[in-house]
């Protein structure tokens, strides 16, 4: 009986290790069509799907989405110029004369959330062309960073928004 | 099913997921090795106490704005582990009371410090929650974190392999070990240091509130079925690594919190082993 249990234990360990070794690079199929102007956004890295989206946050689980966004904040240089697609509640913040639009992304523990700012491609005026706060939106844009004061901020420039 | 595997393959292509799996396996392995000793020495709850100490130290590091808080957190946790494990028997406040006191004291002081001194974070409750429950910190490791974890894990495994016989004798009968001329005090000190290292490293995987589960569940599961120290240790290591991988993969696929999912996997495996243990005991 003990030997049989040992065999089961070894099999479990081997199964676990086998899970680690499978590291393909196929991107999952996205079920939703990308926004119309995505193909105009230039950069299509090797991991881009058929819609030209390099990092599709809408096709990931909530844990992966939050992790990917935190990695964007920690290593923004890895994402520069990539086309990113994201979905979440719309948020607008006004600081002085500046107005920032963002898509909010919550983590799996529901205690943390973060947002990515986006700038729409073309001329749009607030509030006419934007949804109400907390409306679910989908945004596709090119990942970019900019400095304001001494801080570095992330944004999706040349974005297209759907709601 | 094919969709699950293709999604998993896509996630695995991301470096931060690979890093998380490597670190997760190493942490699970290390915590399970010393978990058997802690359970047998009746120190199951020390993981919880030390992790709260580490939380308090992290709060201090945040207040004095240390860029790399690891050295401070590690030092404070090691000192507390040594105090609890070595001086516990001679102190006026003993065993579980000392662990409980340090545990809640460090947790309260840590949270108080982070509130009184603005640590510069706009999301204090989020930061605290992330530290306590792990959140996604295992999926956002820096290269330094990964290498630090690899080096510390190798040291822990080496310690366990090299001092296996000493750990065995100190675990089961410390008085006998002393009587036979072994330096039980020194080995207890080394065990305390290694436990502190494991706790600090493990906080990234499951958070400080759930570390105890990582330490005790694999050992307790193994003890349901196996009886010898060696077989329990090997079984605990296998169970711990399996549960860590299962929990990690499930959480990234299903979008559940990483730490809680790993602990849930540990609980399920414990129940299965308890059932197997009951059946084999009856049939024996």
3-state percent helix, strand, coil for chain B, nearest multiple of 5:
80, 0, 20
Q: Which residues of A touch B264 (CB under 8 A)?
A: none
Residue at token pair 């931060």:
B16
3-state secondary structure B155-184: HHHHHHHHCHHHHHHHHHCHHHHHHCCCCH
B6, B130, B258 member nearest A26 (Cβ): B6
Which of the residue ranges A102-106, A134-138, B26-30, B83-87 would you say has the lowest mean pLDDT?
B83-87
Instruction: Look up the ipTM and state it.
Output: 0.72
pLDDT of residue A112: 65
Min distance A88 CA to chain B CA atoms (Å): 15
Superfamily of domain B25-283: ABC transporter involved in vitamin B12 uptake, BtuC (1.10.3470.10)
What's the burial of B85, exposed, middle or buried (CB within 10 Å: 0-12/13-18/19+)?
buried
Q: Which two tokens stand for residue B175?
A: 């008085």
Residue A7 has pLDDT above 80, yes or no: no
User: Is A2 a member of any domain?
Assistant: no
Min distance B169 CA to chain A CA atoms (Å): 24
pLDDT of residue B204: 67
Residue at token pair 């709260």:
B52
Q: Which residues of B touch A54 (CB under 8 A)?
A: none
What tens digit of pLDDT does each residue of B108-124 get?
888 888 888 765 555 56
Task: Name the stretches of chain B with pLDDT < 70.
Answer: 1, 86-91, 94-95, 118-131, 134-137, 204-205, 284
pLDDT of residue B236: 94
Tell me the CATH number at A68. 2.40.50
Domain count, chain A: 1
pLDDT of residue A151: 82
pLDDT of residue A68: 87
pLDDT of residue A24: 36
Q: Which residues of A touch B18 (CB under 8 A)?
A: 23
Q: What's the mean pLDDT in A9-23?
A: 47
What tens digit of pLDDT does each residue of B29-50 get?
998 988 888 888 877 778 788 8
Q: With CB atoms and an 8 Å threshold, state whether B130 touches A22.
A: no
Q: State the residue range of the domain holding A56.
A: 34-162
Q: Is A26 on the interface with B (CB under 8 A)?
A: yes
Cα dihedral B28/B33/B36/B37 (nearest 10): -130
User: Is A49 a member of any domain?
Assistant: yes
User: Is A75 a member of any domain?
Assistant: yes
Min distance A13 CA to chain B CA atoms (Å): 6
B129, B256, B276 member nearest A112 (Cβ): B129
User: Is A14 a member of any domain?
Assistant: no
């Amino acid at each position: 009986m003990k030997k049989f249990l040992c065999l089961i234990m070894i099999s479990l360990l081997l199964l676990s290790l086998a899970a680690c070794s499978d590291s393909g690079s196929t991107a999952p199929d996205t079920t939703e069509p990308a926004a119309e102007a995505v193909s105009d956004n230039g950069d299509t890295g090797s991991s881009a799907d058929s819609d030209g989206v390099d990092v599709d946050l809408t096709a990931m689980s909530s844990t992966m989405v939050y992790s990917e966004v935190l990695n964007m904040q920690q290593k923004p240089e890895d994402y520069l110029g990539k086309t990113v697609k994201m979905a979440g509640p719309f948020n607008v913040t006004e600081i002085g004369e500046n107005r920032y639009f963002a898509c909010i992304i919550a983590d799996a523990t529901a205690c943390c959330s973060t947002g990515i700012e986006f700038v729409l491609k073309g001329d749009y005026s607030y509030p006419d062309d934007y949804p109400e706060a907390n409306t679910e939106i989908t945004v596709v844009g090119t990942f970019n960073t900019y400095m304001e004061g001494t801080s570095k901020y992330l944004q999706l420039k040349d974005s297209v928004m759907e709601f | 099913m094919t969709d699950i595997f293709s999604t998993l393959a896509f996630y695995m292509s991301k470096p931060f997921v690979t890093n998380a799996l490597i670190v997760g396996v190493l942490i699970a392995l290390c915590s399970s090795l010393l978990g058997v000793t802690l359970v047998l020495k009746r120190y199951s709850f020390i993981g919880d106490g030390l992790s709260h100490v580490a939380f308090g130290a992290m709060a201090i590091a945040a207040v004095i704005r240390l860029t790399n808080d690891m050295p401070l957190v590690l030092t404070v946790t090691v000192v507390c582990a040594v105090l609890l494990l070595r001086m516990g028997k001679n102190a006026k406040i003993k065993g579980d009371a000392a662990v409980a006191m340090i545990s809640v004291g460090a947790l309260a002081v840590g949270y108080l410090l982070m509130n009184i001194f603005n640590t510069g974070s706009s999301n204090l409750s989020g930061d605290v929650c992330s530290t306590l429950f792990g959140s996604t910190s295992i999926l956002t490791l820096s290269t330094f974190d990964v290498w630090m974890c690899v080096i510390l894990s190798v040291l822990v495994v080496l310690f366990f392999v090299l001092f296996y016989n000493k750990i065995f004798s100190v675990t089961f009968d410390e008085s006998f070990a002393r009587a036979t001329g072994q330096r039980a005090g020194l080995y207890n000190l080394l065990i305390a240091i290694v436990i502190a290292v494991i706790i600090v490293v493990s906080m990234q995987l499951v958070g400080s509130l759930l570390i105890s589960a990582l330490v005790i569940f694999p050992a307790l599961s193994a003890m349901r079925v196996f009886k010898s120290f060696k077989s329990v240790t090997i079984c605990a290591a296998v169970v711990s690594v399996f549960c860590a991988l299962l929990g990690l993969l499930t959480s990234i696929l299903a979008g559940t919190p990483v730490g809680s999912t790993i602990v849930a996997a540990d609980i399920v495996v414990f129940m299965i082993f308890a059932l197997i243990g009951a059946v084999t005991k009856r049939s024996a």
